[in-house]
Amino acid sequence: MGGAIMVTMPGFWLVQKRKTPLFHDVFHLPTRTDFDARLVVGAATFGIGWGLGGFCPGPALTSLLLAASGTLFFVPAMLVGIVIAKYTAAPLPKTLAV
Amino acid sequence: METEFTPFASLLGGGIIGLSAVVLLATQGRIAGISGIVSRILPPSVDKAGLPRDHISDWSAARGTALVCLNWSCACSNGFKQWVAISHRWFAGRVWCGHGEWLHKRPWRMRYLARISAVDCCNHDIYGHCLCDCFCFATCPGGLRTCVYSAHSLQVFCLGWDLFCLEWRTPQKFRTSLICLAHGIPALLS
């Protein structure tokens, strides 16, 4: 994580000096900075799932291509969870074009 | 599960992940969150979820992520040198694809291309991958060629899906989308 932050902090700062991305019209960045119950519950649920499954979504998908046994159960469950969340959550835009 | 402590390799790996996030923001203007990207390609559609309609960018991001995943799996199974070789050809493909997107996004710079639609942008992408496939068949050795070909086939599959979603009502585009989907099936099975 430290390695990623060392690259992304100066990288994001430099990139956002541009008015637009190279191949797109706008930057899609989160605009909300407040905490609410939805954020806290969502983050906690994510953490519990990570702890129970032993994977976070990115490594789970890459491990799926290597046919790691745990991911064969974890990834389908994750996809079902995402679809359920999309159908049940209130339709709030999470990002706005800035 | 107990894992070995590898501080330098971990730092390098983290740095590469960070770099990919910076490249995604610089090129597509999006945050590299894999659960968000996966979420966008699952039902219900972005419109029904109340999010901005932005199929092409979403799919581009999803395609990019799929390729990064594929590259990582190649890195794990075949070693770093081959991964670098694949990434370099993948990057060449992205530059060509980026050109297609550029044509689509800035038609005012080239009036004769003013009628270029999102679907034509997909077509540019497909031409780019076909070109890369030809290049790869001409230059790569056996195993590596299979990897690169699979990567591009996977992207052509995604593009076929783009076309199908956007223009399935147009017979010609519908046929093209089926051809692309068929082209990508071996990559999905391999």
> Do the domain assignments include residue A1?
no
Nearest CA in chain B to A62: B69
B70-79 LR contacts (CB < 8 Å, sep 24+): B70/A65, B70/B150, B70/B151, B70/B154, B71/B151, B72/A62, B72/A65, B73/A62, B73/A65, B73/A66, B74/B147, B76/A66, B77/A66, B78/B143, B78/B144, B78/B147
In a domain, A95, yes or no: yes
* Residue in the structure block whose two tokens are 């994750």: A78
Contacts of residue A29 in chain B, CB cutoff 8 Å? 29, 31
Instruction: Flag whether pLDDT at B93 surpasses 50.
Output: no
Flag whether A98 is in a domain: yes
A29 domain-assigned: no
Q: What is the mean pLDDT of chain B?
A: 55
For residue A91, give its domain range.
35-98
Q: Which residues of A touch B (CB under 8 A)?
A: 1-8, 11-12, 15-16, 18, 20-30, 46, 54, 57-58, 61-62, 65-66, 78-79, 82-83, 85-87, 91-95, 97
User: How many domains does chain A contain in total?
Assistant: 1
Partners of A28 in the β-ladder: A97, B30
- Is residue A79 domain-resident? yes
Residue A19 pLDDT greater than 80, yes or no: yes
* Assigned domain for A9 exists: no
pLDDT of residue B57: 44
pLDDT at B29 exceeding the cut of 70: yes
Residue A96 domain-assigned (yes or no): yes
| A28 lies in some domain | no
Q: Which residue did the predictor score with more confidence, B7 or B155?
A: B7
Choice between A50 and A89, residue whose per-residue pLDDT is larger = A50
Judge whether residue B137 has pLDDT over 60: no
Answer for the pair B156, B57: CB distance below 8 angstroms, yes or no: no
Model-wide pTM > 0.80: no
